[in-house]
């Protein structure tokens, strides 16, 4: 997630911005930059791809000291990581400079009016458009800088936290927020803006939290906040008494929990901009996968590892439901050493959060050597897998810091729904009514995930009922079979409880032998074509005195009657149910691990990114 810092006051601006950015590193980034402005209007922009230390030399060697500046760590979304795509971005005249966190949904639309006026853009980012728009508005000479910002942000759709400076107004920073966090730090004759508290905690603990739709003028000795209608808003600073570590997690105990709670936003960001204006079609402006390519496909192979493999497994169910293409799901570590009969009309889909997993990368290379095209579903923009693929469908989960993958998984599923609808429509495999029904439901998913998260306390209680068990069984069918495996993986990796994820229909073929008094069986039993079958499986567990923990739809009295514990989730189309049902599984794993006193964000023996075989 991008990080923003801004400073105005009498101390060394460059140094303060660099220190602030280093405190934002935990958010993940691929490039960084700062702009500083001197009282006489001279300014310096220093921005580089890669780590923050790339800025240190140039910032220390610079000719000017500055009295105001803003800085940024970038987590690429629109445009790959590069010096030129790094922030700050300037307007056409080089007077306005800004840093941005968020995604501007209508940036293409907004850029068209600028292009007609002769504007040329240097970067591939959505953020640069905002700088040009502000410069354009301000250059009309009718309004103040903050009024120009207010006008521009009123025309923007999407999310933003913005820090804006102007070389002719070195006495102020303009800050604006909608949907992305931004705070103002209050110092003694100096003030700050930042994405979050850790960036400024060593300098001040007095902060103002900007709300959506607020625009602030931050000077060294004053802060004025306005709403989008230009009315003043009275803000009272609060005192922060957290430790830096607590602050980085935004009040959550662990990064994993924070990331579980970020899922509604992550899904929203992944679908944003990709659903056509009438909500009936999928468009990929960021991926040129043409209809003729969709029509000629005869087979799809999905390759990935771990959680990404289970996302791919669900992807197989999704693609086979929405298209007429046969789909094979393969563990990348096996695929690379196997002899798949790859042909030029096969498509290989590589799924990876990091985009660096060694086996997934090797599988991708093997597929391309065999004449196959590769599409990757990747979270980290500019990663090796994304660079070596023919097409990339980015998930917009933002950086995942907890070792156990959560928000990456739901966004990978989301990407599969979008791609399957796209293929299904292009090939004439599904009706537009069916496609728009799924898209409508997809748009409701973030709200439904939020509803599940509201019942976190009940899930915690449920985790307490079996955290001492040595082992657990997770069962599901059809769309939710891969979810059962994902639930079992999650609890294994962070709580070290042994768990098996099984297709419920396989119970009688072996695992039922495990069930004895109080043995925990987590049953995914939401409405769909295998619902009755799952009820029978639950009865089988119950008949052997196992402890049934069921994931069921709100108000399902049948399941409530037979299960020991029920975690309720809202109803959804069966095809989309994995997006909801996985959330309680993640929370169950999380709270079992809490009860067992495990180091959740850094489970033993595991690394976030497996770049060796
Ligand atoms: C489990 C987990 C791992 C990863 C796997 C693939 O919670 O995080 O199983 O899913 O190592 O990693 P990526 O997606 O980066 O290729």
Residue 75 has pLDDT above 80, yes or no: yes
What pLDDT is stored for residue 122 in this prediction? 95
Whole-angstrom Cα distance, residue 93 to residue 223? 27
Per-residue burial over 151-160, b = 16 or more CB atoms within 10 Å of its CB, e = otherwise: bbbeebebbb
pLDDT of residue 483: 98
* Burial class of residue 268 (count of CB atoms within 10 Å of its CB; 0-12, 13-18, 19+): buried
Dist. CA 313–CA 434, nearest whole Å? 22
Mean pLDDT of the chain: 94
User: Does ligand 1 lie within 6 Å of residue 247's CB atom?
Assistant: no
Write out the two tokens for 182.
């931004």
For residue 177, the model assigns a pLDDT of 95
**How much is the pTM?**
0.84
Nearest to 378 by CA among 391, 365, 367: 391
- Strand ranges for 227-364 from DSSP E: 232-233, 238-239, 299-304, 327-331, 346-352
* Selection from 179, 113, 128, 158 nearest residue 274 by Cα: 158
Establish whether residue 386 lines the binding site of ligand 1, counting it when its CB lies within 6 angstroms of any ligand atom. no
- Phi, psi for 344 (deg, rounded to 5): -70, -20
Average pLDDT rounded to a whole number, residues 464-477: 97
Assigned CATH for 456-595: 3.40.50.10490
Summarised one tens digit per residue, pLDDT across range 563-605 is: 999 999 999 999 999 999 999 999 999 999 999 999 999 898 8
Residue 592 CA to ligand 1 centre (angstroms): 20
2 catalytically annotated: yes
Which of 315, 355, 357, 590 has most ligand 1 atoms within 8 Å of CB, for mutation? 357
State which ligand 1 atom lies nearest to the alpha carbon of 408: 14
589 CB within 6 A, ligand 1: no
Residue 123 has a pLDDT of 94
456-595 and 247-453 share a CATH fold: yes
Is any ligand 1 atom within 6 A of the Cβ of residue 609?
Answer: yes
* Ligand 1 atom 11: residue of nearest CA: 306
Q: Of the residues 306, 332, 357, which should be mutated to test ligand 1's pocket, given the most ligand atoms within 8 Å of the CB? A: 306
Q: Domains of the chain: which residue ranges?
A: 3-240, 247-453, 456-595
CATH domain 3-240 topology: 3.60.20
Question: From CA 453, how far away is CA 459, in angstroms rounded?
Answer: 9
- The Cα 189–Cα 263 span in angstroms is 39
Select 247-453's CATH number: 3.10.450.350, 3.40.50.10490, 3.40.50.720, 3.30.750.24: 3.40.50.10490
Give the pLDDT confidence score for residue 381 in this predicted structure.
86
Cα dihedral 472→595→196→241 (10° resolution): 170
Q: What is the 3-state secondary structure (H, E, C) of 261-273?
A: HCHHHHHHHHHCC
The yes-or-no answer on residue 525 being catalytic is no
Q: Is 221 left (phi over 0), alpha (psi -120 to 50) or beta?
A: alpha
- Tokens for 238, please give them: 């609060």
**Does ligand 1 come within 6 angstroms of the Cβ of 402?**
no
Q: Is 586 in the pocket of ligand 1 (CB under 6 A)?
A: no
Give the position, in ligand 1's atom list, of the atom nearest the Cα of 609. 15
Contact 76, 382 (CB under 8 A): yes
pLDDT interval class at 285 (50, 70, 90): confident
User: Which atom of ligand 1 is the closest one to the Cα of 360?
Assistant: 16
Half-sphere exposure of 201 (CA within 13 A, CB side): 17
- Residue-wise pLDDT tens digits, 115-138: 999 999 999 999 999 999 999 999
Cα(353) to centroid of ligand 1, in Å?
7
Q: Output the CA 429–ligand 1 centroid distance in Å.
A: 32
Report which of 144, 186, 266, 181 is spatially closest to residue 579, judged by C-alpha positions.
Answer: 266
From the CB of 537, is ligand 1 less than 6 Å away?
no
- Residue 287's pLDDT is what? 82
Catalytic residue (one of 219, 533, 602, 608) = 608
Q: Is the pLDDT confidence value at 192 over 80?
A: yes
- For residue 62, count other CB atoms closer than 10 A to its CB: 14
- Asked whether 493 lines ligand 1 (CB < 6 A), one says yes
Mean pLDDT of 435-461: 96
Contact 390, 375 (CB under 8 A): yes
Q: What is the pLDDT of residue 65?
A: 85
Compute the average pLDDT of residues 160-175: 96
pLDDT of residue 141: 86
Distance CA 431, CA 425 (A): 7
**Using CA atoms, how far apart are residues 69 and 86, in angstroms rounded to an integer?**
16
Residues 6+ apart with CB under 8 A from 419: 282, 319, 375, 377, 393
Q: In this structure, are residues 603 and 404 in contact, taking their beta carbons and an 8 Å threshold?
A: yes
Q: State yes or no: pLDDT of 56 exceeds 90.
A: yes
**Paired residues of 524 in beta bridges:** 551
Q: Is the pLDDT of residue 277 over 80?
A: no
Which pLDDT tens digit goes with each residue over 485-506? 999 999 999 999 999 999 999 9
Q: Is the pLDDT of residue 245 over 80?
A: no
């Amino acid at each position: 997630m991008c990080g923003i810092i801004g400073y105005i006051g009498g101390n060394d601006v460059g140094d303060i911005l660099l220190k602030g950015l280093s405190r934002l590193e935990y958010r993940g980034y691929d490039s960084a930059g700062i702009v500083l402005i001197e009282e006489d209007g001279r300014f310096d922009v220093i921005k580089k791809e890669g780590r923050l230390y790339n800025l240190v030399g140039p910032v220390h060697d610079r000719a000017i000291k500055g009295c105001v500046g803003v800085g940024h760590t970038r987590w690429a979304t629109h445009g790959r990581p590069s010096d030129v795509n790094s922030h700050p971005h300037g307007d056409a005249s080089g007077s306005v400079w800004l840093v941005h966190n968020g995604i501007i949904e209508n940036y293409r639309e907004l850029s068209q009016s600028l292009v007609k006026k002769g504007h040329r853009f240097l970067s591939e980012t959505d953020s640069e458009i905002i700088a040009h728009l502000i410069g354009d508005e301000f250059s009309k000479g009718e309004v103040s800088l903050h009024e120009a910002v207010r006008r521009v942000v009123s025309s923007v759709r999407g999310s933003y936290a913005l820090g804006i400076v102007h070389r002719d107004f070195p006495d102020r920073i303009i800050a604006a927020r909608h949907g992305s966090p931004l705070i103002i730090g209050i110092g003694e004759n100096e003030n700050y803006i930042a994405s979050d508290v850790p960036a400024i905690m060593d300098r001040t603990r007095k902060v103002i939290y900007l709300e959506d739709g607020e625009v602030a003028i931050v000077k060294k000795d004053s802060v004025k906040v306005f709403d989008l209608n230009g009315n003043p808003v009275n803000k009272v600073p609060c005192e922060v008494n957290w430790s830096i570590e607590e602050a980085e997690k935004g009040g959550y105990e662990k990064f994993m929990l924070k990331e579980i709670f970020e899922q509604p936003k992550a899904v929203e960001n992944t679908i944003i901009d990709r659903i056509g204006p009438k909500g009936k079609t999928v468009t990929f402006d960021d991926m040129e996968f043409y209809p003729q390519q969709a029509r000629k496909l005869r087979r799809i192979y999905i390759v990935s590892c771990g959680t990404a493999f289970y996302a791919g497994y669900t992807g197989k169910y999704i693609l086979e439901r929405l298209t007429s293409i046969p789909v094979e799901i393969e563990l990348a570590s096996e695929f690379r050493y196997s002899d798949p009969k790859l042909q030029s009309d096969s498509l290989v889909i590589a799924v990876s959060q990091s985009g660096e997993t060694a086996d997934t990368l090797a599988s991708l290379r093997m597929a391309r050597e065999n004449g196959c095209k590769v599409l990757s579903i990747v979270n980290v923009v500019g990663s090796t897998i994304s660079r070596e693929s023919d097409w990339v469908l980015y998930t917009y989960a933002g950086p995942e810091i907890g070792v156990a993958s959560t928000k990456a998984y739901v966004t990978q599923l989301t990407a599969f729904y979008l791609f399957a609808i796209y293929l299904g429509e292009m090939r004439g495999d599904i009706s537009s009514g069916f496609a728009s029904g799924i898209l409508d439901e997809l748009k409701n998913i973030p709200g439904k995930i939020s509803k599940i998260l509201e019942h976190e306390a009940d899930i915690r209680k449920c985790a307490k009922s079996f955290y001492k068990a040595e082992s657990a069984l997770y069962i599901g069918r059809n769309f939710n079979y891969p979810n059962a495996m994902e639930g079992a993986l999650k609890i294994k990796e962070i709580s070290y409880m042994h768990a098996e994820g099984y297709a419920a229909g396989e119970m009688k073929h072996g695992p039922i032998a495990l069930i004895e008094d109080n043995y925990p069986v987590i049953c995914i039993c939401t409405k769909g074509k295998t619902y009755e079958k799952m009820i029978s499986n639950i009865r089988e567990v119950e008949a052997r005195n196992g402890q049934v923990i069921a994931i069921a739809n709100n108000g399902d009295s049948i399941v409530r009657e037979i299960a020991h514990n029920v975690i309720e989730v809202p109803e959804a189309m069966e095809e989309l149910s994995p997006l909801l049902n996985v959330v309680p599984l993640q929370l169950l794993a999380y709270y079992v691990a809490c009860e067992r006193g495990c180091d959740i964000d850094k489970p033993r023996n595991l690394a976030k990114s497996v770049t060796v075989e």
